[in-house]
Structure 1
């Protein structure tokens, strides 16, 4: 695999575009009184109505247990989440949104989802497919490369 000057230029361009997207989400979260990680955690809670463990959230958002725990405590103080024992493993605690939490999450996530859907709808069907397939493939390859880097013994 050869990294060419063109690949390096495209990588910089893509990185700037991705950073712009991350900044858009961070700004959106902040305008709703959230940190960007809190928004990610809220997304997982909202889109997992049967409940999700803190460990699963940490794994899916690449967050530390401390960050997830702090966010969970904050959401709990506001009455947004309930903690229950898992039916499969009583030692495992599942987090679910309360009615208040679901209302709050819906007020944040549904407008964001609609904006994303509208933006995607402005692309052709072929562009939509290409975007999703290429992003998935890049995420897979980047995961492989970063895991190799993280596990490297220098």
Structure 2
């Protein structure tokens, strides 16, 4: 690892943090926490609903966090919870019509912004950006989980 590697890692992480702050600010502007925004987004696009476990996997949130968000959304009547007839232990979380109406502008706006931002790259740049981001995330995951000491 050299000085340029450190500089680029720093810059990339700054851009990532800036994006995180944008999402956080957007969520707060809409009266939500960022984690709630992520759950709202996942459920909005899951037309047939999803299990809480699937919500956790899709949003990278803990079971406890998702459970708390689901309880709040249930109180607000934005979702329903239905038992899976095939497996009573599984419960599907689905948006109500009121919940979909509430989430529509919030979720569609952010999705359209993401899609438009990506569309400003050429198809080749998009592919490269996604592949490099995937590799960085995999490398970072491997290094954090198995990682080297500090240098």
1:78 maps to 76
Which secondary structure state, in structure 1, belongs to the residue aligned with residue 93 of structure 2?
strand
2:141 maps to 143
1:13 aligns with 2:3: no
- Residues in 1 aligned to 2:79 and 2:38: alpha-carbon distance in whole angstroms: 15
Q: CA deviation at 1:89?
A: 1.4
**What count of residue pairs does the alignment treat as equivalent?**
147
1:54 maps to 52
1:152 maps to none
Which secondary structure state, in structure 1, belongs to the residue aligned with residue 50 of structure 2?
coil
Q: TM-score, normalised by structure 1?
A: 0.87
Larger displacement relative to structure 2 (17-26 or 120-129): 120-129
1:43 aligns with 2:41: yes
Q: CA deviation at 1:36?
A: 0.4
1:125 maps to 123
- CA-to-aligned-CA distance 1:35-70 (integer Å, 9 cap, x gap): 000011111111222221222222333322221111
Match 2:109 to one of 108, 111, 127? 111
Which secondary structure state, in structure 2, belongs to the residue aligned with residue 34 of structure 1?
coil
Bigger strand fraction = 2
Larger displacement relative to structure 2 (130-139 or 51-60): 51-60
Larger displacement relative to structure 2 (15-24 or 46-55): 46-55
- Residues in 2 aligned to 1:146 and 1:82: alpha-carbon distance in whole angstroms: 38
- CA-to-aligned-CA distance 1:66-112 (integer Å, 9 cap, x gap): 21111111111111101011243111111011111112222111111
Which secondary structure state, in structure 2, belongs to the residue aligned with residue 144 of structure 1?
helix
Match 2:99 to one of 98, 101, 106? 101
Q: What is the root-mean-square deviation in Å for CA atoms of aligned residues?
A: 1.6
Structure 2 unmatched runs, 5+: none
- Residues in 1 aligned to 2:43 and 2:64: alpha-carbon distance in whole angstroms: 17
Which secondary structure state, in structure 1, belongs to the residue aligned with residue 88 of structure 2?
coil
